[in-house]
Amino acid sequence: MKLKQIYDYLDSISPFELQEKWDNSGLLVGGFEDEVNNVYISIDLDEEVLNSMEDNSLIITHHPLIFSALKKINYDSYSTKLLRILIKKNIALIAMHTNIDVTHLNKYVANNVLGLDVISSEDYICYANVNDSFSNFANNISSRLGLKYLKYVKCSQSVKKVALVTGAGMSMISNVKADCFITGDIKYHDAMEAKARGISLIDIRHYESEKHFSPLVEGLLSEYLKKNKLKAIITSSKNPFTFCTQGETVE
């Protein structure tokens, strides 16, 4: 199957032109006329993922391996080490980042993972009515995402309306029209800003909130690939962070 056929199908369900100006989604490695024998999906790339893949394959990731121009390729950085393996094994790479955030991922995580009933969506931000105590709501979110510990900012005892952005969404805090905002990568000064605005926060972390990209894309692609006698294989990269609670031994 030609790579361009898969690219065009992905573009039809989540147009690459919707990506942010700073983003680098699309075909990053390979050519449109490449023959694809296997299709893999992962939130990111790492050496273990690439070494497990067959030659002459395509991998679709959420985060682009290359964000800015490379002035040298010395195989001593994250992106260049992996580029070397991709090229050696003739593995093509397509990234679907901010375009699929807008069209699918945020709503998918809200509905299918967190069990929220999305009432509206404004660009990246999904909204849902909750009407629950903050403690019950926060514990439910933590359980559904399998978070080992929960980081939060509590501004009120209850949550009536929640806003969600997967990944790192705190740059959008000024646009949030809810009393609770759930997103990842929340920093100290982000918490101070939310406190001042009276918006509670729940940190659902970056990897934990976006790893659901893989089953989402597999579901979107499966029927199309089946017609061409291919299937999408989920082969997710590992979270680079390890978390432990107080009293646990660091291994």
Distances (CA, A) of 50 to 57, 60, 90, 134, 197: 10, 12, 11, 42, 44
3 state SS for 216-227:
HHHHHHHHHHHH
pLDDT tens digit string along 71-84?
A: 888 998 999 999 99
Is residue 249's pLDDT more than 80? no
pLDDT tens digit string along 131-184?
A: 999 999 999 999 999 998 899 999 999 999 999 999 999 999 999 999 999 999
pLDDT tens digit string along 29-44?
A: 999 999 999 999 999 9
User: 18-27, 73-82, 109-118: which has the minimum mean pLDDT?
Assistant: 73-82
Sorted by where each starts, the structural domains of the chain and their CATH numbers stand as: 3-96+210-234 (3.40.1390.30), 101-204 (3.40.1390.30)
DSSP code, position 159:
E
Token pair for residue 148?
């080992």
- Residue 229 Rama label (left phi>0; alpha psi -120 to 50; beta): left
Percent of the chain past pLDDT 70, that is, above it, reads 100
Q: d(Cα 42, Cα 215) in Å, to the nearest integer?
A: 9
Which phi and psi angles does 105 have, rounded to 5°? -65, -45
- What does the pLDDT read at residue 229? 92
Name residues whose C-beta falls within 8 Å of residue 140's C-beta, 6 or more positions apart in sequence.
Answer: 115, 132
Distances (CA, A) of 80 to 65, 124, 163: 9, 30, 37
The residue ranges of DSSP E strands in the chain, in sequence order, are 26-29, 38-42, 57-61, 92-95, 118-122, 125-133, 151-153, 158-168, 180-184, 200-203, 232-234
Token pair for residue 190?
């982000």
pLDDT tens digit string along 126-143?
A: 999 999 999 999 999 999
Is residue 247's pLDDT more than 90? no
Is residue 246's pLDDT more than 90? no
Q: d(Cα 44, Cα 90) in Å, to the nearest integer?
A: 18
Is residue 68's pLDDT more than 90? no
Distances (CA, A) of 175 to 10, 111, 123: 29, 21, 10
The answer to whether the Cα torsion of 104, 109, 115, 118 is positive or negative is negative
